[in-house]
Amino acid sequence: PKLRPTGCTVDFCQSGRMIKTTEPRVGRDASIQEIQRDAQDFLCQLRAEDVIDSDERLQHRLNEVLVEIANTSCMSEQHTASKRNDHHAAITSSIGGSWSQSLEELRHGLRLAWKHSSKCIMRSEYQTLEVRDFRHINTSREMCTTVIAALREAFNNGKIAPTV
């Protein structure tokens, strides 16, 4: 898994900060190659941990994911200026792109994120994390009733069950 550094330097400790001053912000434009590499790393980790049960299934899923990322990416033009002269250059590249994780991929990814969280004392319970997938819900009314039902389940008569 990708573990993030603490961001501490000799002059400044960031380990107590929720958002580090040096970490990338959500929404930054990543190259399609970086997104594909991250997806491939994640899927290979799932294979190594037997979440994906065969090399053939891994290859099939990887092909699906790479196509989905390519189909959802867009072209970006970045303008650069040289300090030596006023020459401006435009670099066009593919950025963005996304892929939809299966419920099992999502569950395992969330559990890993909790396991490697730097700020949660309960992270040792990562394997008990329950995941509620509401991606199929289309209406506000259905979302409301589903969330309330999930909250009741997570409350578990006062014995709170770790739930996302």
- In the three-class reduction of DSSP (H, G, I as helix; E, B as strand; rest coil), residue 91 is classed as strand
Quote the pLDDT of residue 56: 97
Under 8 Å CB-to-CB from 159, ≥6 apart: which residues?
none
Cβ atoms of residues 30 and 99 within 8 Å: no
pLDDT of 26 above 60: no
Each residue's pLDDT tens digit, 53-82: 999 999 999 999 999 999 988 876 665 555
- Per-range mean pLDDT, top range of 21-25, 57-61, 82-86: 57-61
- In the three-class reduction of DSSP (H, G, I as helix; E, B as strand; rest coil), residue 95 is classed as strand
Mean pLDDT of 133-153: 94
Q: What are the boundaries of each domain within the chain?
A: 1-98
Quote the pLDDT of residue 123: 84
Q: Which two tokens stand for residue 83?
A: 């300090």
What's the rounded Cα separation, in Å, for the pair 121 and 98?
31
Adjacent-strand bridge partners of 95:
31, 74
Each residue's pLDDT tens digit, 101-142: 999 999 999 999 888 887 777 888 899 999 999 999 999 999
Under 8 Å CB-to-CB from 105, ≥6 apart: which residues?
42, 43, 46, 51
Query: For the whole prediction, is pTM greater than 0.85?
Result: no
What's the rounded Cα separation, in Å, for the pair 81 and 153?
56
